[in-house]
């Protein structure tokens, strides 16, 4: 029987003393010691700022902590508990991958879990083989029938599209595992599967993708209805997923198609309230939609890059809209205590006016009637950027606002030229601001 957390050695100093004394085995640490290791890492991360994260220091701490872990004594449960530390130390990845290779030979769910975790740690040239191992693992069917489909599906999201395409047939073969008799957890994992099918692009026939989507939407709608009274939380999650799977992005009707309209209930910028009220009013201009919220750290951290983009282009050519929605809580820019504004959207909008000045927001901000996790634009996490051309057609989606200015320019400038507009010259000051 494996002793709890036997994979962990004690502190490095104790290890050294044990080695000098000729001791072959050290006493296993307690769960409290493991908690202390994770707490050290969490404290380090909490001390970092949004603007500057000491990645070298973070990696050094992860490696210091990982040095006290005997990988070969770990089972999959131990590796999962220590995954943040182990993932943060690249020099231990090969050893962890080797251990996971052994654990993945178990034909049960624990083996499938090990195979799935390994994908994130193996080198790029080994990912195709690692993915194949997951898809062909004997516990795949058990995972889907037992509500653990995310073990398989989340591993797919760790793989680049080119590698995924090599396993397209095996991925498509998972489709029948979703149906009306699937568990609620498996149905909730349907979004991961559909995102993978979209990433496969032409490797999956459009009719196959659409048939799978329709079957999922139907099963999810039926399950949401059946749980409406017995489990309102699960029913609500299913209904939200239903909207996402039935949105324009998942139906393949977003990129290259007219931008889905957003109903704006409040719009403001430094000049006050703009004259336009809808995306349709902005035809003739390139529009950048940046979905965000005041509670979203990565959104706030990207403000300098959005500010640089706003400075580079004239508002007459490019309109940048930070799209949010009523959240019920407003997070001040000075990191003060969150302000509860539940059931008072007017107050939340009023607070946003001060926030624009406080955070030096130079672009337009708008509250949409639709949730910031807009299903038509496929928004599953924020920040999330979509770019619409002057004809109102969505050309890019799912971008991050903190990307380099040059990358954004390479996308926006051709859209301006197609509209008969002359893009501005990149200034050295703009490049400096983007750093």
Report the pLDDT value the prediction gives residue 22, as an integer from 0 to 100. 37
Report the pLDDT value the prediction gives residue 415, as an integer from 0 to 100. 97
DSSP state at residue 362: -
Which of helix, strand or coil describes residue 319?
A: strand
Report the pLDDT value the prediction gives residue 7, as an integer from 0 to 100. 54
Residues 6+ apart with CB under 8 A from 419: 284, 285, 286, 389, 390, 391
Measure the CA–CA gap between 174 and 356, rounded to whole angstroms.
47
Q: Do residues 434 and 404 touch, judged by C-beta distance below 8 A? A: yes
Measure the CA–CA gap between 219 and 235, rounded to whole angstroms.
12
Render pLDDT for 249-284 as a digit per residue (tens, 0 to 9): 998 899 999 999 999 999 998 888 888 999 999 999
The dihedrals phi and psi of 180, each to the nearest 5 degrees, come to -65, -25
Report the pLDDT value the prediction gives residue 337, as an integer from 0 to 100. 86
Q: Half-sphere exposure (CA, 13 Å, Cβ side) for 248?
A: 16
Render pLDDT for 116-166 as a digit per residue (tens, 0 to 9): 999 888 888 888 999 999 999 999 999 999 888 988 888 888 788 888 999
Give the torsion through C-alpha atoms of 277, 332, 381, 328, to 10 deg. Answer: -70
Whether the upstream peptide bond of residue 383 has omega within 30° of 0, thus cis, is yes
Q: Which residues of the chain have pLDDT under 70?
A: 1-30, 50-51, 427-435
Cβ count within 10 A of residue 249? 26
All domains of the chain in start order, with CATH: 264-433 (3.40.30.10)
């Amino acid at each position: 029987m494996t002793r709890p957390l036997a994979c962990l050695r004690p502190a490095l100093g104790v290890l050294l003393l044990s080695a000098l004394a000729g001791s072959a085995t050290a006493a296993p640490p307690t769960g409290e010691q493991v908690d202390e290791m994770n707490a050290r890492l969490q404290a380090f991360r909490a001390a970092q700022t949004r603007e500057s994260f000491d990645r070298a220091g973070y990696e050094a701490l992860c490696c210091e902590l990982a040095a006290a872990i005997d990988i070969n004594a770990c089972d999959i449960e131990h590796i999962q508990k220590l995954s943040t530390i182990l993932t943060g130390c690249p020099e231990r990845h090969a050893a962890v991958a080797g251990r996971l290779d052994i654990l993945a030979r178990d034909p049960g769910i624990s083996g499938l879990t090990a195979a799935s975790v390994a994908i994130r740690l193996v080198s790029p040239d080994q990912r195709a083989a690692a993915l194949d191992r997951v898809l062909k693992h004997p516990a795949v069917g058990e995972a889907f029938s037992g509500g653990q489909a995310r073990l398989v599906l989340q591993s797919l999201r760790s793989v680049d599209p080119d590698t995924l395409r090599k396993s397209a047939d095996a991925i498509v073969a998972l489709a029948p595992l979703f149906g009306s008799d699937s568990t609620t957890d498996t149905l909730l994992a349907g979004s991961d599967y559909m995102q993978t099918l979209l990433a496969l692009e032409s490797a999956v026939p459009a009719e196959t993708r659409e048939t799978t989507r329709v079957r999922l939407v139907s099963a999810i709608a039926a399950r949401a209805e059946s749980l409406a009274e017995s489990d309102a939380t699960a029913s609500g999650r299913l209904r939200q997923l239903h909207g996402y799977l039935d949105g324009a992005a998942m139906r393949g009707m977003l990129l290259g198609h007219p931008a889905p309209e957003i109903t704006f209930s409040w719009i403001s910028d430094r000049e006050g309230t703009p004259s336009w009220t809808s995306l349709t009013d902005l035809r003739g201009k390139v529009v950048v939609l940046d979905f965000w919220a005041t509670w979203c750290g990565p959104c706030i951290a990207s403000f300098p890059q959005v500010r640089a983009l706003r400075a580079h282009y004239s508002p007459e050519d490019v309109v940048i809209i930070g799209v949010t929605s009523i959240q019920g809580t407003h997070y001040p820019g000075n990191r003060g205590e969150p302000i509860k504004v539940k059931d008072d959207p007017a107050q939340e909008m009023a607070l946003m006016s001060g926030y624009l000045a406080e955070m030096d927001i130079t672009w337009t901000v708008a509250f949409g009637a639709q949730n910031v996790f807009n299903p038509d634009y496929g928004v599953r996490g924020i920040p999330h950027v979509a770019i619409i051309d002057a004809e109102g057609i969505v050309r890019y989606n799912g971008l991050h606002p903190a990307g380099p200015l040059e990358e954004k320019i390479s996308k926006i400038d051709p859209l301006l030229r197609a509209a008969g507009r002359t893009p501005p010259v990149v200034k050295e000051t703009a490049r400096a601001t983007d750093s």
